[in-house]
Amino acid sequence: MKGGLAVSFQRRRSVINLLKSRRSIRIFKPVSIPDYIVRLLVEAGSRAPTYYQMYTFIWVKSLEKKEKLAELCRGEIVKNASIVLLACGDLRRISRMLDMLGHKHILSTDKHPVETIMSIFDTALAVENIIIAAESLGLGSVILDCPLLYAPAIAQLFQLPRGVVPLVLVCIGVRGESPPLRPRLALNLILHEDTYKEPSEEELKNFISLLEKHMELENYVRKYTGSDAKYIDYIKAKTEATKEVEKENEALTKYLRENLFRI
Ligand SMILES: Cc1cc2nc3c(=O)[nH]c(=O)nc-3n(C[C@H](O)[C@H](O)[C@H](O)COP(=O)(O)O)c2cc1C
């Protein structure tokens, strides 16, 4: 019994080592990867815990589509990744199946926050499985959020029907860089015992400063965007609530509602 535990613990530790050394890869060697690997990865993705498998992956294979996608999203990453998967939250399939059961179901109503959030959750868990499966084969990956930002254009490009919302791109390929591990919040800030514990101002400031130092040392902004901006200014620009962003968010909220994503 003791021996058996030790063996399984060792095996688990190798998965943990893989998880602990994962980092996003944004520079890929343009190498082709056989189709069966993509199927293997998505199959591994589908084994993630799931609510109702409320996701669909569009495998971006055509060069023409990849180029159009690259115009909207991070060009070089999308162009050089060997595998590009558009991860979509899919409330359409489940809604059609519930229609078949003939009752007044929740997805035909004005608000269904649980299904909406769980669809995003389902998709995220499947994406994470795919990423870890790719790591286990020695491949690198990055998630890109641009599909959601340009949802109507992306939906048109991939002929997504109503109820299928593009969320993220999963770009996978042969690593063309070995970046350092990026900082994470200390465990005591994300793991609280029994009750929520508000982090102190000092703890938050310390993390911001750690992140800033790390990203400057890594030359993160310059490497990935070509800009000379300081990391903090880059983050501020990305999160600034401008009038334009507010308008874009209005349009996105409307798009999401029209596509059954209703909170
Ligand atoms: C939902 C989501 C969206 C992301 N979108 C982008 C993106 O648009 N561009 C990008 O370069 N990285 C993106 N990332 C990757 C994160 O920037 C990255 O995971 C984070 O900086 C931590 O770095 P690490 O993965 O190397 O530890 C995204 C990650 C997640 C989970």
Q: In ligand 1, which atom is closest to the CA atom of 23?
A: 26
Full domain range(s) for residue 90: 19-179
Give residue 188 CA to ligand 1 midpoint distance, Å: 23
In a domain, 164, yes or no: yes
CATH of residue 82's domain is: 3.40.109.10
Give distance in angstroms: CA of 189 to centre of ligand 1.
20
pLDDT on residue 124: 98
pLDDT at 1: 45
pLDDT tens profile 84-128: 999 999 999 999 999 999 999 999 999 999 999 999 999 999 999
Does residue 124 sit within a domain?
yes
- Cα–Cα separations (whole angstroms), residue 136 to 19, 37, 132, 141, 191: 10, 12, 6, 12, 27
Mean pLDDT of the region 179-205: 98
Residue 221 CA to ligand 1 centre (angstroms): 13
Let me know if residue 103 belongs to a domain: yes
- The number of the ligand 1 atom at minimal distance from the alpha carbon of 25 is 26
pLDDT of the residue at 13: 72
Q: Is the CB of 27 under 6 A from ligand 1?
A: no
Q: Measured from the CB, is residue 162 less than 6 Å from ligand 1?
A: no
| CB of 24 shorter than 6 A to ligand 1 | yes
167 domain residue, yes or no: yes
CA of 6 to the centre of ligand 1 (A): 35
Q: How far is the CA of 261 from the centre of ligand 1 (A)?
A: 23
Residue 258 is assigned to a structural domain of this protein = no
Higher pLDDT, 41 or 75: 41
DSSP run (H or E) holding 84: strand 83-90
pLDDT digits (tens, 9 = 90+) for 16-72: 999 999 999 999 998 999 999 999 999 999 999 999 999 999 999 999 999 999 999
- The yes-or-no verdict on residue 206 having pLDDT over 70 is yes
Say if residue 219's pLDDT is above 50.
Answer: yes
The confidence band for 224, taking pLDDT boundaries of 50, 70 and 90, is very high
Domains held by the chain: number: 1
Residue for token digits 């880059």?
234
Per-residue model confidence (pLDDT) at position 216: 96
> Ligand 1, atom 14: nearest CA belongs to which residue?
143
| In-domain check, residue 191 | no
**Mean of the per-residue pLDDT values for the chain?**
95
Atom number in ligand 1 closest to CA 167: 1
In a domain, 185, yes or no: no
Residue nearest to atom 3 of ligand 1 (CA): 145
What SS3 class is residue 173?
strand
73 lines ligand 1 (CB under 6 A): no
Residue nearest (by alpha carbon) to ligand 1 atom 18 = 24
- Give the atom of ligand 1 at the shortest distance from the alpha carbon of 77: 11
Residue 143 CA to residue 84 CA, distance in Å, equals 10
Q: Which atom of ligand 1 is nearest to the CA of 179?
A: 26
Q: Would 98 be classed as within a structural domain?
A: yes
pTM: 0.95
Q: What is the CA radius of gyration of the chain?
A: 21
One-letter amino acid identity for 218?
E
**CB 158, CB 166: distance < 8 Å:** yes
Percent of the chain whose pLDDT exceeds 70: 95
Range of weakest confidence among 36-50, 69-83, 197-211: 69-83
User: Residue 74 above 90 pLDDT?
Assistant: no
